[in-house]
Amino acid sequence: MHPRDWIEVRPQGVWCKAGDFYIDPMQPVERAVVTHGHADHARPLRRRSRGRGAAAGLGETVEIGDVRVSLYPAGHILGSAQARLEYAGSSIVFSGDYKRRPDPICVPFEPVPCDVFVTEATFALPVFRHPPLEDEIAKLLASLMQFPERCHLVGVYALGKCQRMICALRAAGCTETIYLHGAMVRLCKLYKSFGIALGPLELVTPENANALAGRIVLCPPSALQDRSSRKLPSVVMAAASGWMRIRARAKQKGVELPLVVSDHANWDQLTQTMVDVSAPEVWVTHGRDDALVYYAQQHGFKAQALHLLGYEDDSE
């Protein structure tokens, strides 16, 4: 039985008819498989599932109804997974969000054999070819040396991107205290509890804000224009995102120092992943699906867009 016979798109999200559960649902449901903890997949400010939650480890298989569900690493952030569903002799893999670049703080993406591969397409345009992380970190440190009288405020997502940036700064030789917006503290403590060394970190407070010239402060992207940021000395506004490849996007957001740092696969990695997985059929979702569907069809894959509403365009 082909997965199209037991996978269905509903207003709540992708529904597995055979097991009566959803994958990364957009609304509260009875049962769900959630690939990772970002808001556009897990909606932390809203209960996604009215039932009890249970964690499954990478490589583990559980049975939900008549469906075997196995989790494999996605390389996106700590704990991120792909979900492989098997039923009636066929299989489908939902990639969730993934990246192919090496990252010491999460398990690397693993190509998983299947009949249908459902891939994200956040950066599925040829313009998106992310530079090495080390180059972007070097840009940040060079700016810090050039403007020691200015605080460098860097917008990053609190889960995954924040900790990856900290680890990359440490790897580049930055041993100074890195300062955190309050929204970052809890998740950094979580990463530390999993044995990930982040070095000296300190919370930004009204008392120390004026003394942070020549320092790096990490904050959520939404906090770059906050009233609290005005207390920092002569701010260099930076943002670490794959969207910083588009200069107009950086200018629109008032970003002085764009850093092209992404936790998603770029165009070359998305196309290579289809080859690595070698599924005869590809469903494309969550992003720029047209270009990737066209590319897949031109290269011998049966491909279609899996249209889902509710995913955030800026989920980076």
| Rounded CA separation 92/112 (Å) | 10
Q: Check whether 39 has a pLDDT greater than 60.
A: no
SS3 8: strand
pLDDT tens-place string over residues 179-229 = 999 999 999 999 999 999 999 999 999 999 999 999 999 999 999 988 878
| Rounded CA separation 297/262 (Å) | 26
3-state helix, strand, coil in the chain (%, to 5): 25, 25, 50
Q: How confident is the model at residue 55 (pLDDT cuts 50, 70, 90)?
A: low
Domains defined along the chain, listed by start: 3-127+264-305 (3.60.15.10), 133-259 (3.40.50)
Average pLDDT over residues 112-128: 96
Neighbours of 116 (CB within 10 A): 22
pLDDT tens-place string over residues 283-313 = 999 877 899 999 999 999 999 998 754 444 5
Q: Which helix (H) or strand (E) holds 285?
A: strand 281-287
| Rounded CA separation 14/228 (Å) | 40
Q: Mutual orientation of helices 161-171 and 182-193 as an angle, nearest 10°? A: 70
Cβ-based burial of 96 (10 A; exposed 0-12, middle 13-18, buried ≥19)? buried
pLDDT tens-place string over residues 263-288 = 999 999 999 999 999 999 999 998 77
Q: How far apart are the first and last CA of the chain?
A: 36
CB within 8 A of 152, min separation 6: which ones? 140, 143, 144, 215, 216, 217, 235, 236, 238, 257
| Rounded CA separation 197/217 (Å) | 18
